[in-house]
Structure 1
């Protein structure tokens, strides 16, 4: 069977990455977590002191982008790819709340988005890919054959994220996670360059009251129908 491009966009903590990863596995497609790419750039900026301290220096970060190497490396024992920043596995560190607090600010930078979008488009040239993020269906792959826009209430998403962080051993409160979710929603939706928005031909998918199994079954069925429709 031929392959298509699948774009999954949506708000933070809607479970995009989890669904995209499982959908790719079920279809035999490549999975790319673009959020991890922006998180890696954010971590780099934090380490270099460009953001997160008393002062911010985005111009220095932009000038430093050629020295930044990010790539996915498949971990056979885990069954998925992990993010490497300049040769270092940073998969765990990029998921922590300090990075989450700042990633939307880094993602507003046009130079960063241009660099990463070019990388993402190169990854998807051969199709057979599931990519999730904020602008996949609108900017990265506007011609993607199948697009999903995932959403859920801020409170539901904050609770999911809160539980996830607690399970990782992080000391956080629900209120600070909710504040982070709401802040990211605003920044992502109002940034000048590639704002988060639903593509005109995307299926809106509210998973506020759905378990993971039901979500995957429904989206998998949507995808199979679209593949059959496109490949005919």
Structure 2
């Protein structure tokens, strides 16, 4: 059976990673979480003191990009590949609200995007891949056979993210999570380099009022029809 590239873009906290993992498993494809890559670079910048609530030393981060080595390692216990930064498993650390507060600023740096896009394109050379992010269908794989654009209301997304963080034991407030979602939407949509937008030919999935099962079945059906027609 011919393999395709599935590009999933959309706003933060729309469940892109969840559906991408499910699709990859169902189709026996490789899953790549590009958001985790940008989060890992953000974590590196935070650890080095390049970024905090008061400043962002962009030039220092750009100068250090060659020192940042990213990789995914599959963890059988959790059923997906976890993010490694310079050989360290940082999967849990990169999912914190603090990293979320800064990741859109880091992802807006052209040099950062250039480095990570090159890696992402290399990963998809053999196809049979599901990749999610902000610019997969527009920049990384504009010729992907299936492009999906996911959206939902900011309030619904903030509730999901809040519950996820609480379940992990994080001490957060819903208002802070909602503010983070709205700020990331603005930055992602208005940055000069590769702004978040729906790719040409992409199928919009608004899951504001859609259950996980319904969403998965709908997108899996789209994928299977696309593969059959390839």
What TM-score do the two structures reach when normalised by structure 2?
0.99
Secondary structure of the residue aligned to 2:64 is: helix
CA RMSD of aligned residues (A): 0.7
User: C-alpha distance in 1, partners of 2:53/2:188?
Assistant: 22
User: C-alpha distance in 1, partners of 2:210/2:54?
Assistant: 41
C-alpha displacement of 1:139: 0.2
Aligned pairs for 1:17-28 (under 5 A) are 17-28=17-28
Structure 2 alignment gaps of length 5 or more:
none
Partner of 2:82 in structure 1? Answer: 82
Partner of 1:48 in structure 2? Answer: 48
Partner of 1:161 in structure 2? Answer: 161
Secondary structure of the residue aligned to 1:157 is: helix
* Count of aligned residue pairs for this structure pair: 230
C-alpha displacement of 1:53: 5.3
What is the CA deviation profile of residues 69-99 of structure 1, one whole-angstrom value per residue up to 9, with x for unaligned ones? 1110111222210000011000000000000
User: C-alpha distance in 2, partners of 1:153/1:23?
Assistant: 23
Partner of 1:184 in structure 2? Answer: 184
Partner of 2:123 in structure 1? Answer: 123
Partner of 2:175 in structure 1? Answer: 175
User: C-alpha distance in 1, partners of 2:227/2:156?
Assistant: 31
Partner of 1:199 in structure 2? Answer: 199
User: C-alpha distance in 1, partners of 2:166/2:78?
Assistant: 21
User: C-alpha distance in 2, partners of 1:104/1:86?
Assistant: 21
User: C-alpha distance in 2, partners of 1:116/1:76?
Assistant: 26
4+ long deviations beyond 2 Å: 53-56
Structure 1 alignment gaps of length 5 or more:
none
Partner of 1:32 in structure 2? Answer: 32
What TM-score do the two structures reach when normalised by structure 1?
0.98
